[in-house]
Chains A and B, each alone.
Chain A
């Protein structure tokens, strides 16, 4: 009996390993079983009709009456859950409008930074609107639509020990980063000697930083500025690090019908200055009016 169960365990482990390696070739087939645990994602996988296509086209989304949007649930004021359990924030404001204009219901799926690409590649969501910075590496894995926000990196530290440069770093100190963010990639590539303390969500990184786990926290500058404004005792010593980037919606690679729909939506919204209204509704309380023109990208057109 014992030997039998051991054999069964081995068999299961082996099948698992095999199905994982097979994943690359036939993503459609395996995504059906992968998403079995998530009711929201089930229709995404079931409609692929064995054509090897994991994403849902615009028509498929429309006929299902629901669009699955991957958002943050812990990144105030961009994507977070309020006291009534409702998703709120700059990304959500746009997501709701997008769903409304497509004539479907928005179904929000909470993501973490590190699994945003993954959610698109497995068809668990149709679009990611989780403050997703456009980078060349990510553009190889997903398709980005037109941008709707500007972003750079920033570093926040305590008032009594403000960090203004990353050069001459004391090797005993670490910087907090969130796994899967552009800050992590940037520091790995440009400051490989700085020890990184990695967390898997915004909420835990924030908590650990406030507990004094590390001397600094590197993240999108929008996020660290918001953190310093909302919590006393912290200063953004490095407000802009690395290149100036943009934030854009992302869809599964090859999902052109949805991509085109989002792009024309962003262009159309530019005419009514939608993202300025979005800023005033969601970000004004945090940043004040000073950052409005620096942050907002209207109609998909950046200043440069």
Chain B
């Protein structure tokens, strides 16, 4: 283990980690938005939009992120649409994550018993009140474990960004190995930095799960 090498290239990894987190979080934010919209559309069976969302979910869940990135980064310029690598990363992650988030939200919404709607109605709540105070809190508490798993999954998926020339953690490690053949040090830093990013997310996720569990009905 060459510690001089590790300290010398630490700033490079910090920059890469920032990029990973920045693109990861932006992608996840949009994925949550897409997921919420798709889940709502599917749950309420909005005509046409329902089928569209279903098609999108199948397309996005059954193609690898790498292929989606290739289409966005290398394919779209062929039809005159050039997008910066960073934006491609965010779009790709949101496209992939949107479907996973949609399914997580949907499983939550569907887990809320029909009787909850009826009981709320009998108490005189209108549908917005029912959704906001009765349905969503229960649905979310069911969805949270799946949502947290998706967040971690998406953060890890950023490791394929090297394909579109983004200097993320994975590419930085590969590049340093290629340049200086310091495999052990480069991979050690890679694992450490992924753990620094992902462990807090994982811990925060399980705390969140524990806090939200009480919202369930009939436990």
Q: Which residues of A contact B (CB under 8 A)?
A: 2, 6, 9, 13, 16-17, 20-21, 23-24, 113-118, 121, 137-138, 140-141, 179-181, 184-185, 188, 197-200, 204, 207-208, 211-213
Contact = CB atoms under 8 A, between A and B. Distances in A.
B174 A115 contact: yes
A140 B206 CA distance: 48
Contacts, number: 87
Contact of B165 (A6, A137, A138, A204): A204
Contacts of B128: none
B64 interface: no
Interface string B185-219: 00110011001000000100010000000000000
B124 interface: no
Interface stretch (B24-32, B133-141, B175-183): B175-183
B162 A200 contact: yes
B82 interface: yes
Interface in B70-87: 73-74, 77-78, 82
Interface size class of B (residues with CB under 8 A): 20 to 34
Contacts of A13: 191, 195
A20 B188 contact: yes
A197 B179 contact: no
B127 interface: no
Contacts of B174: 114-115, 179-180, 200
B161 to A, nearest CB: 10
Contacts of B38: none
A2 B74 contact: no
Contact residues of A: prevailing secondary structure: helix
B175 A179 contact: yes
B171 A198 contact: yes
Contacts of A24: 1, 184
B178 A117 contact: yes
Nearest to A200: B162
B147 interface: no
Given A17-B188, A20-B187, A211-B74, A118 B163 contact: no
A137 B177 CA distance: 12
Nearest to A3: B206
**7 closest residue pairs by CB, A with B:** A180-B178, A114-B178, A211-B77, A141-B181, A179-B175, A117-B181, A24-B184
B93 interface: no
A74 to B, nearest CB: 13
Chain A CB within 10 A, most for which of B1, B163, B179, B206: B179
B34 interface: no
A113 B188 contact: no
B195 A23 contact: no
A21 B77 contact: no
29 contacts: A6-B202, A16-B191, A17-B188, A17-B191, A20-B187, A21-B188, A23-B184, A114-B175, A114-B177, A114-B178, A115-B174, A118-B177, A140-B181, A141-B181, A179-B171, A179-B178, A180-B175, A180-B178, A180-B179, A198-B165, A198-B167, A198-B175, A200-B162, A204-B165, A207-B74, A208-B73, A211-B77, A212-B82, A213-B165
